[in-house]
Amino acid sequence: MTDAEYDLIVIGSGFGGAMAALPAVRAGKRVLMIERGDWVPRGAGNWGPDGFFSLTSAYSSEAPYSVGRGGNADTLGTIACVGGASVFYGGVALRLRERDFDPDPNLDLDSGAGWPFSYADLEPYYSQAERLLGVAGCAGEDPTEPSRSTPYPQAPAPLAPIARHMKDVARGLGLHPFPLPLAINYGNGAGRAPCVRCGTCDGFACAIGAKNDIATTLVPELQRGEMTLAPNTVAVGFVVDRHRVTAVTCVDRKTLEPRRFTGKAIVVAAGALATPHLLMASALHRSNPAGDAIGRYLMRHCNAVVMGVFRQKPAPDGEFHKQIGIQDYYSGHPSVATPHGKLGSIQQFGTPQTAYMVHHAAQWIDHRYTGLVRTIAHTVKPWFVPFGMPHTTGFIVIAEDRPQATNRVALTNGSTPFGMPQAKIEHQYDARDIAARDALASAAGRILREAGALTMFRDAINTFSHAVGTVRMGTDPARSPLDGWGAFRGLDNLYVTDGSVLPRSGGVNPSLTIAATALRAGERIASTL
């Protein structure tokens, strides 16, 4: 089946896809958005133990990635839904710092990583992304905050009591805590319910639509314009004639019926894992002078949660309290001798939802532990999870990881139900990544001890939720598959606008930077249509 030609075809409906489509839609162009998943239902079920993203129908495991190194299991599914991962993210919307756009020998080494533009070039698009996402924040309290041309669209919500306590403790230690900028509606979203400060935000779809995810804020606007959304449609390849992509080949996710769409320009924004997979499955790496870099330099931050157990419940009413950030260690700190240079962020991490932990603790224990340790954990679990977990709170630490060519997405000899080659993920942190994470974790632990934690535990995060870097931008055509506008080298009308374009991961959540770079690229693309 072949549809009529579109001005622009966008593959993916998350931050990168929706933001890249917006300028063309506002210019009155005919746009098609291809999305592998469907709309996520909203209602009371999102608050329950099965509302966590990996337990919902939005988590696709029908064509999983095999994981050679670095994951929690041998296979990995992905989020596939309208709005992409934004539907389940925690709403943190931080900009990269100015110095993140400068070369850094401690991080770059010989990887060839380098931003093709400056922070000043991206700043207007950061401001635009914050407006579109209704970010609530407070300028002037983050000691590493980059310059900004506009205020935040909303003021932050009042801090929960435990957030105020952590802020006071951190200040007492000579640090500079600040309210995390959050893409959450606290009251100025016309016709929408304001946030009720529930504890199910990070990892859950918002039951009342108060989180300003892409499915809630941007896709409806795009649909009111000249955009057609094609959900449950899997892009599987491209048709190329000389130096142009002439069609996108797809299959219906439910019936496997083939479909084919033609467009003047094509944007791929399927995510830092799926985008290189699709490009390589179509052999497009062969037409790119930096084709060997496609799929390589996978980064995902080197993260850990550091949790303290307190005598009293930190959030007795289950209220949201992922509210403060600490950037004093972002560019290094006098107390940290190794590693030298940039470290990353410390952000408050809420008390895990007890119902979810009770319901799924046995599966977690079976996966994580073996033998005697598993037996002990199963014995402890019945009383610790329902009674101990509500007494925990802590921090997540986000260390910038270095781009390594061996960390990659690669094709295998297997195949998916959709007719594509299967893909495999290989990832391993280096010693500096781990040292940066551990230094941040130690700093977080000092805050928790001073705050009154009776004991603490730390757990490394091995998910790929912050994956970036696999089809990176750059100025060197031999080492960067994309130019500074996200244009795919070797083809005249193909662009990439998701997290895979970022040449470095930075030390903050990538969502706002993905949104800003996609808006910048989308503006350029729209001008060519």
User: What pLDDT does residue 86 have?
Assistant: 96
Give the C-alpha separation, 333 to 344, whole Å.
Answer: 10
User: What is the domain partition of the chain in residue ranges?
Assistant: 1-84+112-136+205-300+403-426+467-510+518-529, 140-180+302-399+428-463
* β-pair type (302-309, 455-461): antiparallel
Cβ neighbour number for residue 260 with a 10 Å cutoff: 14
Produce one character per residue of 124-141: b if its CB has 16 or more CB atoms within 10 Å, e if not: ebbbbbbebbbbbbbeeb
Are 270 and 500 a contacting pair, CB within 8 Å? no
User: What pLDDT does residue 301 have?
Assistant: 96
User: What pLDDT does residue 369 have?
Assistant: 43
User: What pLDDT does residue 69 have?
Assistant: 81
The CA–CA distances, whole Å, from 193 to 131, 158, 185, 209, 425 equal 18, 18, 8, 7, 40
Assigned token pair, 72: 């929690």
CATH topology of domain 1-84+112-136+205-300+403-426+467-510+518-529: FAD/NAD(P)-binding domain (3.50.50)
The CA–CA distances, whole Å, from 104 to 71, 111, 114, 147, 150 equal 28, 11, 9, 20, 28
DSSP 102-143: S--HHHHTTS----SS-HHHHHHHHHHHHHHHT-B--TT-ST
Instruction: Calculate the CA 188 to chain-centre distance.
Output: 25
What is the pTM (predicted TM-score) of this model? 0.94
The amino acid at residue 177 is P
Question: Which residues are within 8 A (CB) of 255 and not within 5 positions of it... i.e. 6 or more apart?
Answer: none
Phi-psi region of 272 (alpha: psi -120 to 50; beta: other; left: phi over 0): alpha
The amino acid at residue 49 is P
Residue listed under structure tokens 């100015």 = 98
The CA–CA distances, whole Å, from 156 to 13, 135, 138, 166, 488 equal 27, 9, 6, 17, 39
Would you call 360 helix, strand, or coil by DSSP?
Answer: helix
User: What pLDDT does residue 357 have?
Assistant: 52
Positions of the chain with pLDDT under 70: 1-4, 188-190, 352-388
User: What pLDDT does residue 437 have?
Assistant: 97
User: What pLDDT does residue 144 have?
Assistant: 95
User: What pLDDT does residue 355 have?
Assistant: 52
Cβ neighbour number for residue 157 with a 10 Å cutoff: 18
